[in-house]
Chain A
Amino acid sequence: MEPVAVVGVGMTQVKRERKADGYPDLVFDATRAALDDAGMSIDQIDNVVTISNDFFDGRTISSMAIMDACGSYDKNVTTVEGDGTFGAFFGVMRVLSGSYGTTLVCAHHKGSESQMPLITNAMFDPIFARSLGIDAVTSSALQARAYMAKYGITEEQCAMVSVKNHGNAFKNPIAQLPLELTVEKVMSSPYIADPIKLLDCCPISDGASAVILASEERAKKITDKPVWVKGVAHCSSAYQLGDRNLYCVCALEEAAKKAYAMAGVSEPARDIDLAEVYDAFSYMEPLWLEGLGICERGEGGKLTESGRTALDGELPVNASGGCLSGNPVLVAGLNRIIECALQIRGDAGEHQAERVKTAVAHGINGPCGQSHCVWVLGGEK
């Protein structure tokens, strides 16, 4: 793959409810921050990818409403409905097409303005599943149970993920929900849908973020700290939950294999220094780490227990606090990419991990991780 770099990043603070800012305001703040980070003006952006969801925003083709805010007048704009990692994947392809030297990718979400259970219920098949009332939490509970039953992963091991990530969030100024937790506190929080408890769940969040991608030629002119996209891949699996073994994340395994092959990663546990994965529920972190090949299938719980994924461990995972500490949907994956880029640049502030040369960012679309997008980022090409 021709080299593509992340040359600018911007994130708004993630909060439970941002009443002072409409979503175009959030998009403007994130875009402005990314331009400032890159030292660029909006004229230097060749094209734009926006990431939104009509159902969340309450209007059709909702990307229409943020054209002013992302500075896209007189530019080619395309829209992606899905997680930020998938939108940015599209942004990379636009740079690779040769038609655009720079691409701005921006995502927004205001969970506070709608009702998440009703909206996530609508992602299910209207004829065979929706009237059952299933939603993101209850479907994830089915996956958590399947994972625990298959491999003996314990609720305590999942609770450790929540303790770790909420703890890391204290060091991340944009995180919504830093919490001083213990395994006992998580375990004694009320069950929402067994085996998922309240403190295993991400909060509802508002936020936006933006990333500027550039070709090698343009990147060199823009920044002396480019973060290179070393490998990126996206794989999908079945829509209907019953068609998949929910404990086996084959689509993620495939996506990781492809991204690693591009990046020259042969032993993920050794070659990767840090990972930001989509931990909307605590059980997801160990499961996705298995899919990413950082440990064997069924070993994700033990990996968490070992302390290797802690901020000061050998392979910090969700040093930012992860989605558990703030989950503006769609934005969340873009934030994973941004966190990795900041870590590689050495700009992550208080939650900076040591020696981050190669990092992995991960995002999901669809119920129980129907699709996965894997990014391998590095400071050197």
Chain B
Amino acid sequence: MDDWRKDQELLVMEGRIKVPYRWFAGEVGTRYLESLRDAGKFLGTRCSGCDKVYHVPRRNCPDCFEECSEWVELGSSGILETYTVVRKHHPQLAPLPLPYGYGIIKLEGADTGFLHLLGEFDDKDLEVGMLVEAVFSDARQGNILDVKYFRPAKGVE
């Protein structure tokens, strides 16, 4: 079977699957994203069983499996729990010019971390446990990129 292959490039079919979706943000997601867009405020939900505050908000507590029915307003700054600085990334994925960062941020008033982008930093500035603050986008559209990124907190002036 192999003889004929010596002078033969094997064929490759190019393809691309492109299927439109509509992801419904639901009641909880809509209230959260609307608050980001219209008020520039982060909201979480509190579990009626164990009092844990979830951000991003959700309907049920995965730990005690009660309903998270109470809305809580959170701060727009928080503790950087972990981070990375991205040096190389797929051009179709990188949302900011390289290098940029990802962090998990526990916002003031929340009990869970929030995955988002990091910007406006010098590498040597970043440290686990530091305070970072949200920078909002100028034209907000009701999605998670209404938060442009988090940056090292400048402190109260």
Task: Give chain A's interface residues, CB within 8 Å of chain B.
Answer: 19-20, 58, 115, 117-118, 121, 126-129, 131-135, 138-139, 141-146, 149, 190-196, 238, 240-243, 246
Q: B82 to A145, Cβ gap below 8 A?
A: yes
Known: A127-B144, A241-B115. A135 touches B93 (CB 8 A): yes
**Chain B positions within 8 Å of A149 at CB level:** 82, 128-129
**Chain B positions within 8 Å of A19 at CB level:** 10, 12
In the bound assembly, the distance between CA atoms of A315 and B144 in angstroms comes to 46
Within 8 A of A (CB), among B1-46: 5, 10, 12, 15, 17, 21, 23, 25, 29, 33
**Chain A positions within 8 Å of B54 at CB level:** 243
Q: B89 to A191, Cβ gap below 8 A?
A: no
Q: Does B90 contact A (CB under 8 A)?
A: yes
**Chain A positions within 8 Å of B106 at CB level:** 242
Known: A118-B92, A240-B115. A20 touches B82 (CB 8 A): no
Task: Give chain B's interface residues, CB within 8 Å of chain A.
Answer: 5, 10, 12, 15, 17, 21, 23, 25, 29, 33, 54-56, 62, 81-90, 92-95, 102-106, 112-117, 123, 128-129, 143-145
Known: A129-B144, A238-B62, A240-B56. A143 touches B86 (CB 8 A): no
Q: How far is the CB of A144 from chain B (nearest CB, A)?
A: 8
The total number of A-B Cβ pairs within 8 Å is 121
In the bound assembly, the distance between CA atoms of A80 and B62 in angstroms comes to 24
Taking a contact as CB atoms closer than 8 A, the residue among A127, A193, A242, A243 that contacts B25 in the complex is A127
Which partner residue on chain A sits nearest B58 by CB separation? A240
**Chain A positions within 8 Å of B23 at CB level:** 126-127
In the bound assembly, the distance between CA atoms of A242 and B83 in angstroms comes to 12
Q: A118 to B25, Cβ gap below 8 A?
A: no
Which partner residue on chain A sits nearest B103 by CB separation? A142
In the bound assembly, the distance between CA atoms of A243 and B65 in angstroms comes to 14
**Chain A positions within 8 Å of B129 at CB level:** 149
Q: A141 to B113, Cβ gap below 8 A?
A: no
**Chain B positions within 8 Å of A192 at CB level:** 86-88
